[in-house]
């Protein structure tokens, strides 16, 4: 009977410990990866400017898709913010300078796109500082914005970014546009329409809540330069067609001035 009681108590203790561990892991994952969370440090998302939209693009520059996107933005006279992967930027310096010359803002998106919720301090420091140095060398001016890959961060990540003069930026409008990789034109158009509709719903939701929309799309892929981003580029064009008559498109710098 004593053994039964001991086993029951041990099982209860183990279950309680597992519950605490699960809760702690859940808290950490929310704090580290939810775009809305400010628990690990302050990040920029979007101000109370419900008629404004910031288009931001991650994982470039891409030699195929970024030039197409630049043409679309130029036709609409809209400037965007591009969060660049360092290892790709150094391979395409003329394209990065073209983006800058067109009036777009360039941000730091790490050197190789790791998950900063789990990387150690040394790797985190190398990823951010190397990218920062290379981008500023290419551009000849400071880089002021940082978006952590996957939105993942720790307190050290955000503190390091700020020590480098970077404002950490997340988002409040994103859909899984990176999953749309079909080579079939009809499927690409369907995927683009679905991406644009989902983002439109988020833009409208943000406006009802009194906030601007900070949109994430992808003009490249972090694991390869061969990623198909046709649907994402077309979705951006659809959003521009829909919203340029009624909304103001801004770069993140505009929100920094309003803060």
Per-residue pLDDT, 17 = 52
126 or 16, which is more confident: 126
Q: How far apart are CA 127 and CA 116, in angstroms?
A: 10
Q: How confident is the model at residue 163 (pLDDT cuts 50, 70, 90)?
A: very high
Q: Are 118 and 85 in contact (CB under 8 A)?
A: no
222 flagged as catalytic? no
**Which entry of 58, 59, 191, 219 is annotated as an active-site residue?**
58
CB 144 within 8 A of CB 165: yes
Averaged pLDDT for residues 249-253: 96
Report d(CA 77, CA 209) in Å as an integer: 27
Is 127 inside a domain boundary?
A: yes
Q: Classify residue 230: in a domain, yes or no.
A: yes
Print the domain residue range for 210. 52-258
Q: Is residue 29 part of a domain?
A: no
CA distance 184 to 110: 32
- Cα–chain center distance at 178: 12
| Distant-in-sequence, close-in-space partners of 156: CB < 8 Å, separation ≥ 6 | 121, 124
CA distance 42 to 170: 10
pTM: 0.90
> Does residue 23 carry a pLDDT above 90?
no
Q: Is residue 169 part of a domain?
A: yes
In a domain, 13, yes or no: no
**Residue 215 falls within a domain, yes or no?**
yes
Q: In which band, very low, low, confident or very high, does the pLDDT at 24 lie, cut at 50, 70 and 90?
A: confident
Flag whether 35 is in a domain. Answer: no
* Residue 61, preceding peptide bond in cis (omega within 30° of 0): yes
3-state secondary structure of 257: helix
Residue 6 reports pLDDT greater than 50? no
How many beta carbons lie within 10 A of that of residue 248, not counting itself? 14
Active-site choice (104, 109, 113, 218): 218
Instruction: Pick the closest to residue 106 from 46, 62, 147 (CA basis).
Output: 147
pLDDT (0 to 100) of residue 14: 44
> Where are the extended beta strands (E) located within 75-134?
81-84, 105-108
Which residue is it, tokens 């796109």?
113
- Whether residue 204 is contained in a domain is answered as yes
Number of domains into which the chain is organized: 1
3-state secondary structure of 248: strand
pLDDT (0 to 100) of residue 20: 53
CATH of the domain at 224: 3.20.20.370
Spatial distance between the Cα atoms of 117 and 35, rounded to a whole number of angstroms: 13
Please state, for a pLDDT cut of 90, what percent of the chain lies above it. Answer: 84
Catalytic residue check, 218: yes
């Amino acid at each position: 009977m004593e053994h039964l009681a001991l086993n029951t108590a041990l099982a209860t203790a183990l279950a309680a410990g597992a519950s605490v561990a699960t809760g702690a892991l859940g808290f950490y994952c929310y704090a580290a990866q939810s775009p809305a969370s400010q628990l690990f440090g302050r990040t920029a998302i979007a101000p109370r400017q419900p008629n404004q939209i910031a288009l931001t693009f991650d994982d470039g520059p891409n030699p195929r898709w970024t030039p197409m996107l630049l043409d679309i933005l130029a036709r609409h006279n809209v400037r965007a913010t591009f969060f660049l992967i360092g290892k790709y930027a150094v391979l395409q310096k003329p394209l990065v300078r073209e983006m800058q010359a067109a009036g777009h803002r360039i941000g730091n998106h790490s050197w190789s796109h790791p998950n900063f919720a789990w990387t150690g301090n040394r790797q985190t420091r190398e990823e951010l500082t190397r990218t920062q140095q290379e981008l500023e060398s290419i551009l000849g001016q400071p880089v002021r914005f940082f978006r952590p890959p996957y939105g993942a961060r720790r307190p050290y990540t955000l503190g390091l970014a700020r020590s480098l003069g970077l404002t950490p930026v997340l988002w409040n409008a994103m859909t899984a546009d990176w999953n749309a990789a079909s080579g079939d034109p009809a499927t690409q158009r369907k995927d683009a329409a679905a991406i644009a509709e989902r983002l439109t719903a988020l833009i409208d939701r943000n406006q009802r809540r009194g906030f601007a929309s900070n949109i994430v799309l992808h003009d490249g892929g972090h694991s390869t330069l061969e990623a198909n981003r046709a649907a994402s580029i077309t979705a951006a064009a659809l959003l521009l067609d829909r919203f340029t008559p009624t909304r103001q498109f801004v770069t993140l710098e505009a929100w920094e001035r309003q803060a």
